[in-house]
């Protein structure tokens, strides 16, 4: 299993599937469709019926091998990697972590250090897959893809293992929030599913942020600075004032657990015009709405001070906390806990400080909690994943299939 996991994962991360929010097409980048085509052929070799549409949604079905009436179980992972860092020319390698700094790139002086990332302490003695420091790794979520594929290959090689219909989906553009937008739940065919899109060993999640984006545009008036008195309106200064009006303790770097935040994700501008891009996150719906209202209040306040239409804001909801939709199906969590315990994995139930396709899919009628892949430090050059944790993820997937077969 270990060699199979490594081989599949390495081959998948070599395909550049970085999604692109600026593109209106689906998938937003051609590499995602390329990887979907590769996976389609691999699924068919494992005996699955497949369909791949022109938007890059790949569905596979492994037919039941029993007469028992069983729930149709699904597993999902996403094809794309985050646009936060390049996913082109990913160069993964395996290191055994012995407690010392891992030199990712000697030439550029890029080091993965326990000083900066204390979570490394959990992996002493384990083999880790790391980057070369110039790209992200892509474990989010190509590790999930590899783990699902290895589990399916195990079923293919051991056809005496009883199972109901197993449905898999590999979907585009999750990292830019569009994954479920063209997902056909009825066509997928599963009754319930799990996204394999979590982080460290044992993660089990059925709560996630309520999410929105906020784009702020500020108009200025550029005048020669030598004659600017009472005439210049510097949009950059107004932008910094807008940011200063927000609660400085409600930032990602100051929050954890169930605490929400408003995150300034991008800031581009000059005297004439400045644009700010925010994301708004909170688990509690009332607090989430309060954060959005605060953004609108600040907009009105600055418009009264500097003139109407100086500040324009556009807020768009992205996804909701799936807890409400999972709670009627808490057996899914009970089964996942049991599957982990069967694999000698301690379940770690905690909220997702982010989102998965499962959040939106749960509201579309497909209850879909999230289980771990084994990766850490997603979306950047310091990303890594434990091979042992990947093996355990495969075990958990197979254990879930076994549990569902005995309902």
pLDDT attached to residue 177? 84
The boundaries of every CATH 3.30.70.360 domain in the chain are 210-318
Active site residues: 80, 174
pLDDT attached to residue 355? 78
pLDDT attached to residue 42? 98
Question: 27: cis peptide before it, omega within 30°?
Answer: yes
pLDDT attached to residue 407? 82
pLDDT attached to residue 354? 82
Tens digits of residue pLDDT in 248-268: 999 999 999 999 999 999 999
pLDDT attached to residue 84? 94
| SS3 call for 397 | helix
What single DSSP character describes residue 381? Answer: T
pLDDT attached to residue 258? 94
Q: Which of 174, 89, 149 is nearest to 368 (CA)?
A: 174
Give the burial class of 358: count Cβ atoms within 10 A of its Cβ; 0-12 exposed, 13-18 middle, 19 or more buried.
Answer: buried
Question: 227: cis peptide before it, omega within 30°?
Answer: no
pLDDT attached to residue 356? 80
Dihedral (Cα; 151, 152, 157, 163), 10-degree rounding? 100
* Predicted confidence pLDDT, tens digits, the chain (407 residues): 899 999 999 999 999 999 998 999 999 999 999 999 999 999 999 999 999 999 999 999 999 999 999 999 999 999 999 999 999 999 999 999 999 999 999 999 999 999 999 999 999 999 999 999 999 999 999 999 999 999 999 999 999 999 999 999 999 999 998 999 999 999 999 999 999 999 999 999 999 999 999 999 999 999 999 999 999 999 999 999 999 999 999 999 999 999 999 999 999 999 999 999 999 999 999 999 999 999 999 999 999 999 999 999 999 998 899 999 999 999 999 999 999 999 999 999 999 888 788 989 999 999 999 999 999 999 999 999 999 999 999 999 999 999 999 98
Q: What is the pTM of this model?
A: 0.88
- Rounded Cα distance between 143 and 257, Å, is 25
3-class DSSP string for 170-182: EECCHHHCCHHHH
CATH of the domain spanning 2-207+321-405: 3.40.630.10
Measured CA angle at 249 (ends 202, 116), to 5 deg:
50
Which single residue is written with the structure tokens 């569902």? 404
CATH class of 210-318: alpha beta
Mean pLDDT of the chain: 96
- Rounded Cα distance between 66 and 63, Å, is 9
pLDDT attached to residue 261? 98
Q: Which of 403, 309, 404 is nearest to 73 (CA)?
A: 404
Q: How far is CA 350 from CA 305, 333, 379, in A?
A: 43, 12, 20
The boundaries of every CATH 3.40.630.10 domain in the chain are 2-207+321-405
| SS3 call for 188 | helix
pLDDT attached to residue 294? 97
């Amino acid at each position: 299993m270990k060699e199979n996991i490594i081989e599949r994962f390495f081959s998948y991360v070599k395909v550049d599937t970085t999604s692109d929010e600026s593109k209106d097409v689906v998938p937003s980048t051609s590499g995602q469709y390329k990887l979907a085509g590769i996976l389609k052929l691999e699924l068919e070799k494992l005996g699955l019926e497949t369909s791949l549409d022109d938007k890059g949604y790949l569905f596979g079905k492994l037919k039941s091998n029993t007469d028992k009436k069983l729930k149709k179980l699904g597993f999902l992972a996403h094809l794309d990697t985050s646009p936060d860092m390049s996913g082109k020319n990913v160069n993964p390698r395996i290191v055994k972590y012995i407690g010392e700094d891992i030199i990712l790139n000697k030439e550029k002086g890029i080091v993965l250090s326990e000083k900066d990332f204390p979570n490394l302490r959990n992996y002493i003695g384990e083999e880790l897959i790391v980057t070369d420091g110039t790209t992200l790794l892509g474990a989010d979520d190509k590790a999930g893809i590899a783990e699902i594929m290895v589990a399916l290959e195990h079923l293919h090689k051991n056809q005496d293992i009883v199972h109901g219909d197993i449905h898999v989906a590999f979907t585009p553009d999750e990292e830019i929030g569009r994954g479920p937008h063209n997902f056909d739940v009825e066509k997928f065919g599963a009754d319930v599913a799990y996204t394999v899109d979590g982080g460290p060993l044992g993660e089990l999640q059925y709560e996630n942020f309520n999410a929105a984006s906020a784009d702020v545009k500020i108009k200025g008036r550029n005048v020669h600075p030598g004659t600017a008195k009472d005439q210049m309106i510097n949009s950059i200064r107004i932008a910094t004032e807008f940011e200063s009006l927000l609660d400085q303790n409600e930032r990602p770097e100051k929050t954890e657990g169930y605490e929400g935040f408003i995150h300034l994700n991008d800031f581009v501008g000059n005297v004439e015009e400045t644009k700010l891009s925010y994301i708004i996150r909170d688990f509690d719906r009332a607090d989430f709405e309060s954060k959005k209202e605060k953004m609108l209040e600040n907009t009105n306040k600055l418009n009264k001070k500097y003139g109407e239409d100086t500040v324009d804001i556009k807020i768009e909801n992205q996804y909701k906390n799936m807890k409400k939709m999972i709670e009627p199906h808490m057996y899914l969590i009970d089964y996942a806990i049991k599957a982990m315990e069967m694999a000698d994995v301690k379940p770690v139930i905690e909220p997702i400080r982010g989102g998965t396709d499962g959040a939106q899919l749960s509201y579309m009628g497909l209850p879909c909690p999230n289980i771990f892949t084994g990766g850490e430090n997603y979306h950047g050059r310091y990303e890594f994943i434990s091979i042992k944790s990947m093996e355990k993820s495969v075990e958990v997937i197979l254990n879930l299939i076994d549990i569902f077969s005995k309902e």
